[in-house]
Amino acid sequence: MEKTWRWFGKKDKITLPMLRQTGVEGIVTALHDIPNGEIWPLEAINDLKQYIESHGLKWSVVESLPVSEAIKYGSPERDQLIENYKVSLANLGKCGVKTVCYNFMPVIDWIRTDLEHKWADGTSSLYYDSTKFAYFDCKILKREGAEKDYTVEELEKLSALDKTITEAEKEQLIDTVIVKTQGFINGNMKEGDRNPVAGFNRLLKLYDGINRNRLRENLRYFLASIMPVCGEWNINMCIHPDDPPRQVLGLPRIVTGEEDIAWLLNAVDNPHNGLTFCAGSLSSGIHNNVPDLAKKFAGRTHFVHLRSADILPNGNFIEAGHLEGRGHLIEVVRIFEKENPSLPFRVDHGRLMLDDKDKGYNPGYSFYGRMFALAQMDGVMATVKDEISKNLIQN
Ligand code: DNO
């Protein structure tokens, strides 16, 4: 598979010359300065593409061309926003950038409650603590009726936390869930927002009355509208699974596992409607067997995220090492190398290690940690290629 790396543009402290030294072949990026819903101009796409190429790399994947909330909840402005999206796609197609990752998660993208969960060796990983998240929902957002989404046991743990949590810890939880994880990825939230909780609650309100079926229909509508442009420019759309893959904060999530993925690929049965196979997101759902899903959906996968999670007995999950956990990445690499060796993959989320923290990289997007994981995956890939050349892999 093609080795790619998520790079946040010219402002990223991890530069393209640094990436060249790690053996990266392709870049995954976006026009991060353009607000959600606005057209990506041809010149801006071309500029960035040339900049990447001037460093001996190529722009392999767009992650993400964000889908505006109005398209997700389906208000009348959606048609204009979809028209804009189509123009951006055509502009990308004209520039030869043909793989586009996006997601259809309402309001909030990936969810973590701790950015620096320590391992004994001094490195740290991202972490999801279900009690802290329930606390965020019931006591910080104070979402109406939230308590009914939790079990008695979960509510007891939440009350216990309420007795010990400090104001500073509350602030940190808000900063982690709303600002730090979303800010650099999802145009809804920005660093420096004065009152993130109020802004977040305003966004949640927009989804009153939107259930799973409505959200599915809105996704179908969006995909059916853009497919002709994707066909004309040979663009592969690849939806990112929900992270974690379950309903949260009373919001429906519709890319959580096998049944959802099968639904979405059939709902718009066009090879340009495909999947970002994020082994990490899928592995944080206890219902998912990641290698099985890879086998089932390899033919419609256009982009792969290699990372892995472990679910703990108390329901929390931690980002495991890339050779560990429920992602079973060795097996996943075997499946994709056989099915489509030209697929781009990126290692996703590395640990914080060495002086990653001092450099102030984005959560999960460390340099040394990701480079370490890339080396691991590179080794796996070389082994798998060798197995394939010797016909050692059985179907
Ligand atoms: C988190 C990422 C996601 C993903 C977007 C794709 O690190 O995997 O934020 O990039 O959801 O649209």
pLDDT in tens, the chain (395 residues): 999 999 999 999 999 999 999 999 999 999 999 999 999 999 999 999 999 999 999 999 999 999 999 999 999 999 999 999 999 999 999 999 999 999 999 999 999 999 999 999 999 999 999 999 999 999 999 999 999 999 999 999 999 999 999 999 999 999 999 998 988 887 777 777 778 999 999 999 999 999 999 999 999 999 999 999 999 999 999 999 999 999 999 999 999 999 999 999 999 999 999 999 999 999 999 999 999 999 999 999 999 999 999 999 988 999 999 999 999 999 999 999 999 999 999 999 999 999 999 999 988 999 999 999 999 999 999 999 999 999 877 66
For residue 124, say if its preceding peptide bond is cis, omega within 30 degrees of 0: no
* Total-model pTM: 0.97
Protein residue whose Cα sits closest to atom 1 of ligand 1:
110
Q: Is the CB of 364 under 6 A from ligand 1?
A: yes
> Candidates 110, 238, 248, 254: which one to mutate for ligand 1, based on the most atoms within 8 Å of Cβ?
110
Q: Is the CB of 185 under 6 A from ligand 1?
A: yes
**Number of C-beta neighbours around residue 13 at 10 A:** 11
Catalytic residue among 85, 278, 302, 361: 278
Q: Looking at the chain, which residues constitute the CATH 3.20.20.150 domain(s)?
A: 2-110+211-394
Q: Is the CB of 240 under 6 A from ligand 1?
A: yes
Ligand 1 atom with minimal separation from the 280 CA: 8
φ/ψ (deg, to 5) at 200: -65, -45
Which CATH number applies to 2-110+211-394: 1.10.10.10, 3.30.470.10, 3.20.20.150, 3.40.1010.10? 3.20.20.150
Q: Is the CB of 64 under 6 A from ligand 1?
A: yes
Q: Is the CB of 233 under 6 A from ligand 1?
A: no
| Cα atoms in the 13 Å half-sphere on the side-chain side of 109 | 21
Q: How far apart are CA 328 and CA 334, in angstroms?
A: 10
127 is catalytic: no
Helix (H, G, I), strand (E, B) or coil at 237: strand
Q: Is the CB of 109 under 6 A from ligand 1?
A: yes
- From residue 126, give the alpha-carbon distance in Å to each of 8, 93, 289, 319, 386: 19, 35, 21, 6, 33
305 is catalytic: yes
Ligand 1 atom with minimal separation from the 281 CA: 8
